[in-house]
Chains A and B, each alone.
Chain A
């Protein structure tokens, strides 16, 4: 269970998040949507303890990230970018993370197998393609076999096969009772994967509910998204 409660973030004089609240529940895939620069990544960074909130809280099972006992086995996260040093090999990258969480080396081989990177594991991360980098990020998120997954633009750069794989994978995770939060701006893709939708615009939540509730009278999620985020729209649904 992820609980974002009245989160406010200032960077300099700019207000990036102005009091957002939402929940991501176990057993469901929650889609976090918004235009570029709406505050999606900032929210996720605060949730993961990378950035500090000006006020409000982002809790994981009722605790802030830094108070988790073993963060990797509680929550797995893949943010934008590779998250790895260019000169390290993929396997070495996963190994140090595994050591940090006290996991075994065989677990590294397992997640490499899951994301399909076994053959590229000894290549330097700098030589990875965008899609391989995403797979490496997802592998790192899965290392501790966490109950909660947070993925920022997971399908970005993945090939069609990869996109289908991640869709079924996330559905399976949710159906076995896990919490999945993913941000994206690919509407068609999201509509096929998510149960709940949260839409953010200019640091404010403009819609929050199940997929059906948010689509409402619009024909598709995409239509609903544009109706909610276009400049004239405003207010909370």
Chain B
């Protein structure tokens, strides 16, 4: 079984990558997110420039847009899985690739392959813009910290995308999936942030890219944050796969 599985996975992954790459919505979303992020970075930089010189860190301001940026990646994840249900494509998919668990895993893998570099570029572009604008006034971080933080940000966005894809696969319809995820990330989570422990996907993931501030008690380390977010993502993907395998297509 394991030999045949590993032989199967390459063509399936190839097919899933093909599907994502040839879907114009994916590129539109990524481009839209890129532009939106630059606009937001400009807004945050302009707010930052009004503040006192020498007190802000470029990383903090450049990544301040992350909260909004994740919306683009949530959409990306939802499109990746819900697009199967447009025009009855799911039937074609499952007649070509009847191994459902393998197929959905391959889809997540393909999505990660596309998302990771895109997320890195988008996050870095925001920080770069801030760097160019605020070189003289803000504290410039060391290159090491910079890369670590950007890697964390890209990782956070990628995991969020995969998590959204899993939710999309569970719900199967774009609009409800979008409402559920946006509702959680932008309304429920900000409302409950102070009263609940920081073990939720977004609150834990936050520590992947935000430099630890000393005045916060019980903050998580980047590693802990990463671990918790990975756990959430894996659990949701597994739930999605279980449902996917049990349900009629």
Q: How far is the CB of A68 from chain B (nearest CB, A)?
A: 7
Do the beta carbons of B11 and A100 come within 8 Å of each other? yes
Q: How far is the CA of A125 from the CA of B24 in the complex (A)?
A: 12
Map CB proximity to B onto A154-179 as digits: 1 under 8 Å, 0 otherwise. 00000000000000000000000000
Do the beta carbons of B22 and A83 come within 8 Å of each other? no
- Please report whether the interface of chain B is mostly helix, strand, loop or mixed according to DSSP: helix
Q: CB < 8 Å: which of A51, A81, A87 contacts B25?
A: A87
Q: Which residues 89-137 of A have a CB within 8 angstroms of B?
A: 89, 92-93, 95-97, 99-102, 125-126
Q: How far is the CB of B156 from chain A (nearest CB, A)?
A: 28
Q: How far is the CA of A192 from the CA of B115 in the complex (A)?
A: 53
Q: How far is the CA of A83 from the CA of B249 in the complex (A)?
A: 13
Q: How far is the CA of A84 from the CA of B96 in the complex (A)?
A: 13
Give the residues in chain A near B192, CB-CB below 8 Å.
none
Do the beta carbons of A66 and B248 come within 8 Å of each other? no
Do the beta carbons of A83 and B97 come within 8 Å of each other? no
Do the beta carbons of B14 and A99 come within 8 Å of each other? yes
Q: How far is the CA of A140 from the CA of B91 in the complex (A)?
A: 11
Task: Determine if A199 is an interface residue (Cβ-Cβ < 8 Å).
Answer: no
Q: How far is the CA of A50 from the CA of B99 in the complex (A)?
A: 11
A95-B18, A95-B22, A100-B15 as given contacts; A84 in contact with B94, CB under 8 Å: no
Do the beta carbons of B95 and A48 come within 8 Å of each other? yes
Task: Determine if B88 is an interface residue (Cβ-Cβ < 8 Å).
Answer: yes
Do the beta carbons of B15 and A66 come within 8 Å of each other? no
A65-B98, A79-B88, A83-B91 as given contacts; A96 in contact with B249, CB under 8 Å: no
Do the beta carbons of A102 and B89 come within 8 Å of each other? no
Task: Determine if A86 is an interface residue (Cβ-Cβ < 8 Å).
Answer: yes
Task: Determine if B19 is an interface residue (Cβ-Cβ < 8 Å).
Answer: yes
Give the residues in chain B near A96, CB-CB below 8 Å.
15-16, 18-19, 22
Q: How far is the CB of B13 from chain A (nearest CB, A)?
A: 9
Task: Determine if B12 is an interface residue (Cβ-Cβ < 8 Å).
Answer: yes
Task: Determine if A32 is an interface residue (Cβ-Cβ < 8 Å).
Answer: no
A51-B249, A81-B87, A97-B15 as given contacts; A87 in contact with B23, CB under 8 Å: yes
Do the beta carbons of A51 and B15 come within 8 Å of each other? no
Q: How far is the CA of A107 from the CA of B249 in the complex (A)?
A: 28
Chain B, Cβ-Cβ closest to A46: B248
Give the residues in chain A near B86, CB-CB below 8 Å.
85-87
Q: How far is the CA of A89 from the CA of B24 in the complex (A)?
A: 10
Do the beta carbons of A81 and B88 come within 8 Å of each other? yes
Do the beta carbons of A82 and B88 come within 8 Å of each other? yes
Task: Determine if A72 is an interface residue (Cβ-Cβ < 8 Å).
Answer: yes
Give the residues in chain A near B23, CB-CB below 8 Å.
85, 87-88
Do the beta carbons of B11 and A92 come within 8 Å of each other? no
Q: How far is the CB of B72 from chain A (nearest CB, A)?
A: 18
Do the beta carbons of A83 and B92 come within 8 Å of each other? yes
Q: How far is the CA of A82 from the CA of B88 in the complex (A)?
A: 7
Do the beta carbons of B88 and A66 come within 8 Å of each other? no
Task: Determine if B130 is an interface residue (Cβ-Cβ < 8 Å).
Answer: no
Q: How far is the CA of A93 from the CA of B22 in the complex (A)?
A: 8
Q: Which residues 2-59 of A have a CB within 8 angstroms of B?
A: 45, 48-52
Q: How far is the CA of A45 from the CA of B249 in the complex (A)?
A: 9
List, sorted by A's number, 15 A–B pairs whose CB atoms are closer than 8 Å: A45-B91, A48-B91, A48-B94, A50-B94, A68-B98, A79-B88, A81-B87, A82-B88, A83-B89, A85-B23, A85-B84, A88-B23, A89-B22, A97-B92, A100-B96
CB-based closest 6 A-B pairs:
A100-B15, A92-B22, A96-B18, A51-B248, A83-B92, A50-B249
Chain A residues at the B interface, C-beta cutoff of 8 Å? 45, 48-52, 65-66, 68-69, 71-72, 75, 77, 79-89, 92-93, 95-97, 99-102, 125-126, 140
Chain B residues at the A interface, C-beta cutoff of 8 Å? 4, 11-12, 14-16, 18-19, 22-25, 83-84, 86-89, 91-92, 94-99, 246, 248-249
Starting from the known contacts A48-B94, A97-B15, 16 additional A-B residue pairs (CB-CB under 8 Å) come to A48-B95, A50-B94, A50-B249, A52-B246, A65-B95, A68-B98, A69-B4, A75-B95, A85-B87, A86-B87, A87-B23, A87-B25, A96-B16, A97-B96, A99-B14, A100-B15
